[in-house]
Amino acid sequence: MKNLARMLVILSIVMLAGCGKQQKPSGRLTIAVIPKGTMHEFWKTVHAGAVKAARELDVDIIWKGPIKEDDRDAQIAVVEDFISKGVSGIALAPLDDMALRAPVANATRSGIPVVIFDSGLQGSDFISFVATDNYKGGQIAGDYMSKLLGGKGSVMMLRYNEGSNSTMQREKGFLDAIAMHAGIKVVSSNQYGGVTTESAYKAGENLLSRFKKGDALGVDGIFCPNESTTFGMLRALQDGGYAGKVKFVGFDASQQLIDGMKKGQIQGLVLQNPMFMGYTAVKTVVQHIRGEKVEKRIDTGAKLVTPDNIDTPEMKELLHPDLAKWLK
C-alpha cells in the first residue's frame, strides 16, 4: 500500500507538471527596434522595413530611439528600459561603438538576444551584425571622386560624429581610396559636422571660408559621409555660391539631395538600403528566437547613384521607397 501511495503521488506530480507546461502561454514575440535617431529620412525608411518584417513574421515591434543622434545617455536608457520590460529581442543601431557595449551585455545576460544593425559595436555580446559594408561604401565614394577629378586635384572631407562606427568606416574607406591616387591631395579631413543639418551647415560654412580664394573655392572635391552632413554641406555650397562649381559626393539620400543632384550640384550619392536593413534586423532576431541559424555578419549592400543612372528602376526603388504602405 505504501508503495502504491508513493507511486500515486509521483504520478500526480508528473501530471500536474505536464498540465502546467501545456497551459503555459507561448506568448507573442515583441521586438524592440532602437535606431540612432528618429529625425532623418534614413531612419524612417529603416522603421518601414522593420514594420514590413513584423507583419510578415506575425510579431510585434516597438520603435523607440533618441531624437538626436548624439544623445548616448538617452539611447542607453531606452535599452535598459526594454531590458526591464523583458522584451523578446532587441535590434539596436548603437550611437557609440563603446558606450552601448555594457547595456548590450546586460541584455544578453538577461536572456534577451540582440542584433546590431547599421553601425558596429565593440565586443561580441550580440547574435548578428546587419549593416552596409561601410568601409566599402567609403571606397566607392573615393573611387568615384578620383574618377570625377581625373586623378588630380584637392579634396576635403567633412566628418560626421566621433564614436559613430559606421561613418568612421566610410571616412576611412574614402581616404584609403583617395590615397591610391598620388595626384589628389586631401587638404582637410579632421572637421566634424555633428548630428544635425544645422551643425553640419555651420561646419561646412567654416570649412568653405578657409579655402575661399576670391570668388572661387580653392578645393576641387568634397565628400560627406551621411545624410545630415551631405545636406548641411549642400546648403553651405548653395549659400556661398559654390554649388555646382565643385565635385560633391555624399552618402544616403533625401528629397533635397535628389533635387541637388538633378540641379547638377551633387555628382554622386552612395546609397544604402535602409528598408532592407530594418527588415533584415527584425527578421534575424526572430529567426534566432525561433531556433533558426543566423549569419554573424549580413551585408545589406551599397550602390552609387549618379546623374546618369538616377532614373533607372533600381535607383528609383532605393530613392523612393513606399513608406506610406508601412508607416500608416
- Mind listing the pLDDT tens digit for each residue in 202-226? 999 999 999 998 778 999 999 999 9
Q: Could you tell me the domains of the chain?
A: 30-132+273-300 (3.40.50.2300), 134-271 (3.40.50.2300)
Confidence at residue 26, expressed as pLDDT on a 0 to 100 scale: 58
In the chain, the amino acid numbered 216 is: A
Per residue in 285-298, pLDDT (tens digit) is: 999 999 999 999 99
* Residue 35 CB contacts under 8 Å (≥ 6 apart), including other chains: 43, 46, 47, 63, 65, 93, 118
Query: If you ran DSSP here, which 8-state letter would residue 98 be given?
Result: T
CA 8 centroid distance within chain: 60
The average confidence (pLDDT) of the chain is 92
Report the b/e string of 21-56 with b at 16+ CB within 10 A: eeeeeeeebbbbbbbbbbbbbbbbbbbbbbbbbbee
Residue pair 45/322 in contact (Cβ under 8 Å)? The answer is no
Query: From its phi and psi, is residue 100 left (phi > 0), alpha (psi between -120 and 50) or beta?
Result: alpha
What residue has cell string 528600459? 81
Which has more confidence, 85 or 20?
Answer: 85
Average pLDDT over residues 226-232: 97
How far apart CA 34 and CA 29 sit, in angstroms, is: 16
2, pLDDT greater than 90: no
**Helix 72-85 × helix 101-109 angle, to 10°:** 0
Q: How confident is the model at residue 126 (pLDDT cuts 50, 70, 90)?
A: very high
C-alpha distance from residue 110 to each of 24, 86, 237, 294 (Å): 20, 8, 49, 20
What residue has cell string 514594420? 51
308, pLDDT greater than 60: yes
319, pLDDT greater than 70: yes
Query: If you ran DSSP here, which 8-state letter would residue 47 be given?
Result: H
How far apart CA 145 and CA 31 sit, in angstroms, is: 40
CA 259 centroid distance within chain: 23
How far apart CA 250 and CA 190 sit, in angstroms, is: 17
Helix intervals (H) in the chain: 2-23, 41-57, 72-85, 101-109, 134-149, 165-178, 197-210, 227-240, 255-262, 274-289, 313-319
